[in-house]
A = this chain, B = another copy of it.
Amino acid sequence: MSDTSWQDRAAAKRRQQLESIPKDWVLPNLPPRSQLDVNEYPRTCGLLTAKEVQITESSVETLLVNLSQGTWSSVEVTTAFSKRAVIAHQLVNCLTEIFIERALERAAGLDEHFKRTGQVVGPLHGLPVSIKDMLMIKGIDTTNGYIGRINQPAPKNAALVDILESLGAVPYVKTNIPQTLMWGESYNHIFGRTLNPFNRNLTAGGSSGGEGALVGLGSDIGGSIRIPAAFNSLYGFRPSYNRLPTTGGVGSGVGQNTIYPVYGPLTTSMDGIKTFMRSILSKEPWQYDPLVIRKSIVPDPPVTRGLEIAKAALLRAGHKGEHFLQNLQPVALLTDSPFILEVIDWKPANHAELCRLGWEILAAGGSADVDAVLATSGEPLIPDMSLEVENFDAEAWQNVKNTQVPRPGLTTHELWQLNGKLRQLRHEYHDQWRETISETGTGRPVDAIIAPVAPFVATPHGKNRHYNYTFIWNVLDYPCCAIPVGSKVDPQLDAKRPRASFCGDADRQNWDSYDPNDFMNAPLSIHIVSRTLEDEAVVGISEVVDNALKARESAI
């Protein structure tokens, strides 16, 4: 904690904010506080030219048409909106971070691009957008009105800010929120209170209260888009959970996975809502998360042979696959043209950490549920799946009983920390997946993964103790399909292979316990995996692989 009092630190930040406003936009003739309705003031104060009034009162559609035809430049549109936002701020105190200079630089770059190529960079080319304070913008604070977060510039953009910029939009201001974000009004110790432009004695609403007085991007966990929209005569849309990415949004309750906060637009027209949603969705926001695998146990020989058979079958069917199984990695599939699969290398990451988190989360509720149902009959908890547990005897029961200590589980706060960490790791996966676009040559990231289902085929009873090869996809929520390879364990083909090194104790134990004779006749299998909600792709690609395997079988 700094030696300066929190009041002084807040005041310093407010001074910085004032300094971020161009000097000649600071208005000397502001209406008295007793004037409640200030909607007319921006038009009449003299700071906006007639054209700037026209620009700032145009529909999103009109703005985009004029920007895309070069009728209006992004610099003049951004200037007009910046002026109007600064006027509004002086009337109703709606802004937090103000970065007009930076926005104008970006606008000039967009104008230059348009001049040079005759093309827009995207459907929102040159359009100024305001952003609720909680969304990270690289190099700018994300205080959410907390004094303790002053002067901590964000290391990167929120996913939605990245998407908006890739669409051509121009962020220029961030907007006010309440301390804790959990109020339907907007007041905090740094930026003060946002007023309603229709009647300054009324609230502008919250928690996207600053957006209520302008137009831009808000968030909603209990009405925080719709309340400011309703209170300020705007249109405000709350999409379903997980339609738009939330990564890079800062708030309390990270990891609270029940009632998700969502982001959405506040605009002056339905057209604005439609344009916003259509544009964002055109960038496939579901691309903003990926997938990887890091093996801590190397598969047994028949498992690897299953992958090799799948490779051979695919090559035989005309698919391409030079990198297949290189270094025993799982492989990424991509459909080059319809039904032609190609495989590329895959860089593993964070598999072990994701699974560890996953198991911790599943165990977080403690043993109360199981304890309760066992208590209804007095039957003991089964300590593992080994053959010994089948023949219950009183002595063994004493041992079991001693291991059956009720687990208390975690607190909700601890659980949410884990959920937050999982959210972050899922995002890193997404990023890595999305980045394969540079390797595939198809203009798309990889479509699917072929991976083992387990490090072993069906084990002797009591020995199936390593589930991470399947669990990783549950943790990432990637749909997947196990399919048979059409071959069984063969002591000759699947002989134990010497290993020079091991990934750890579990890997060594698994290798130690492999003897092909123990696995006689067990079938070989693989599984096809793709990203969340790509269920249809998984089924389609599984069918292609299955057909190739079948063709191979009948050719043998």
Contact = CB atoms under 8 A, between A and B. Distances in A.
Interface of A: 1-2, 5-7, 9-10, 36-37, 146-150, 178-180, 182-185, 187-189, 192-193, 195-196, 198-199, 201-206, 220-223, 225-227, 229-241, 243, 252-260, 270, 273-274, 277, 358, 361-362, 364-366, 368-370, 373-379, 381-382, 384-385, 387, 389-390, 392, 408-416, 418-419, 422, 453-454, 457-465, 467, 469-471, 473-475, 477-484, 488, 518-523, 525, 527, 532-535, 538-539, 542-543, 546
A221 B355 CA distance: 12
A333 to B, nearest CB: 16
B412 A239 contact: no
Contacts of A5: 378
B474 A259 contact: yes
Instruction: Tell me which of A195, A259, A392, A535 has the highest count of chain B C-beta atoms within 10 A of its own C-beta.
Output: A259
Contacts of A477: 240-241, 259-260
Given A203-B385, A454-B230, A520-B199, A474 B222 contact: yes
Contacts of A473: 238
Given A377-B146, A454-B223, A533 B467 contact: no
Given A185-B462, A460-B203, A366 B240 contact: no
B379 A146 contact: yes
A499 to B, nearest CB: 23
25 contacts: A147-B377, A149-B373, A180-B382, A202-B459, A226-B470, A230-B484, A230-B527, A231-B458, A234-B482, A236-B481, A237-B479, A240-B477, A252-B365, A252-B369, A252-B370, A252-B373, A254-B369, A259-B361, A259-B362, A270-B546, A274-B543, A408-B411, A409-B413, A410-B411, A411-B411
A313 to B, nearest CB: 14
A178 to B, nearest CB: 7
A274 B480 contact: no
Contact of A361 (B229, B241, B258, B538): B258
Given A226-B480, A233-B484, A464-B185, A458 B382 contact: no
Contacts of A412: 364-366, 409-412, 414-415
A203 B463 contact: yes
Contacts of A149: 373, 376
Given A1-B377, A235-B481, A364-B412, A533 B252 contact: no
Contacts of A533: 240, 243
A253 B370 CA distance: 9
A454 B482 CA distance: 50
Contacts of A413: 365-366, 368-369, 409
Given A203-B460, A237-B479, A412-B415, 12 more contacts: A146-B379, A150-B377, A182-B362, A185-B462, A198-B458, A223-B454, A227-B464, A230-B482, A230-B525, A237-B539, A243-B479, A366-B413
Nearest to A243: B535
A60 B486 CA distance: 19
A247 B534 CA distance: 23
A461 B381 contact: no
Nearest to A251: B369
A360 to B, nearest CB: 10
Nearest to A481: B237
Contacts of A467: 184, 222-223, 227
A461 B199 contact: no
A168 B525 CA distance: 31
Contact of A274 (B253, B482, B539): B539
B199 A458 contact: yes
A210 to B, nearest CB: 14
4 pairs of A and B residues whose beta carbons are closest in the complex: A223-B470, A148-B376, A233-B523, A230-B525
Contacts of A256: 361-362, 364-365
